[in-house]
């Protein structure tokens, strides 16, 4: 199964990559989105060093990494359409993902089936 990760939380994504790596599973791609500047929910940006660490880890593991500014932009939709994946994991915290993007990927609500899967 080919899975991409859409994220605004680079540190949590690094942890998830580590946990999945223990089961010999890698993402097919990681897309990092910046937090909205006017964030009414109070989420804090983890800073440029966190997304750069995620970018470097993706580079080491040969995982395609994209940094985009808006989750629901036309550019984002185009880039996601280029990715050949079966489903996606979302760590998007401050934006409701539009139906066009959701329809492109089957989103996973849990990763337990990976962590419990017998090799």
Indicate which CATH number applies to the domain containing 70.
3.40.50.12230
| Domains contained in the chain, number | 1
Query: What is the three-class DSSP state of 90?
Result: strand
36-54-86 Cα angle (round to 5): 85
Range of the domain at 42: 3-115
Helical (H) or strand (E) element with 101: helix 99-104
Q: Cα separation of 100 and 64, whole Å?
A: 22
Q: Cα separation of 12 and 81, whole Å?
A: 25
For the chain, the helix, strand and coil percentages under 3-state DSSP, each to the nearest 5: 35, 20, 45
Within the chain, which residues score under 50 in pLDDT? 109-119
The pLDDT, as a whole number, for residue 104 is 64
Mean pLDDT of the chain: 81
93-98-102 Cα angle (round to 5): 90
The pLDDT, as a whole number, for residue 38 is 73
The pLDDT, as a whole number, for residue 5 is 92
Nearest to 118 by CA among 24, 36, 38, 39: 24
The pLDDT, as a whole number, for residue 111 is 42
Each residue's pLDDT tens digit, 55-72: 999 999 999 999 998 888
The pLDDT, as a whole number, for residue 95 is 73
What predicted TM-score, i.e. pTM, was given to this entire model? Answer: 0.80
């Amino acid at each position: 199964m080919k899975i991409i990760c859409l994220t605004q939380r680079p540190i949590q994504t690094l942890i998830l990559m580590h946990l999945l790596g223990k089961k010999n599973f890698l993402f097919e791609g990681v897309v990092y989105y910046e937090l909205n500047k006017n964030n009414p929910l109070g989420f804090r940006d983890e800073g440029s060093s966190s997304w750069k660490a995620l970018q470097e880890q993706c580079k080491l593991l040969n995982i395609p990494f994209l940094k985009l500014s808006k989750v629901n932009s036309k550019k984002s939709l185009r880039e996601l359409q280029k990715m050949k994946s079966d489903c996606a994991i979302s760590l998007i915290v401050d934006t409701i993902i539009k139906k066009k993007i959701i329809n492109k990927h089957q989103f996973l609500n849990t990763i337990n089936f990976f962590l419990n899967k017998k090799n």
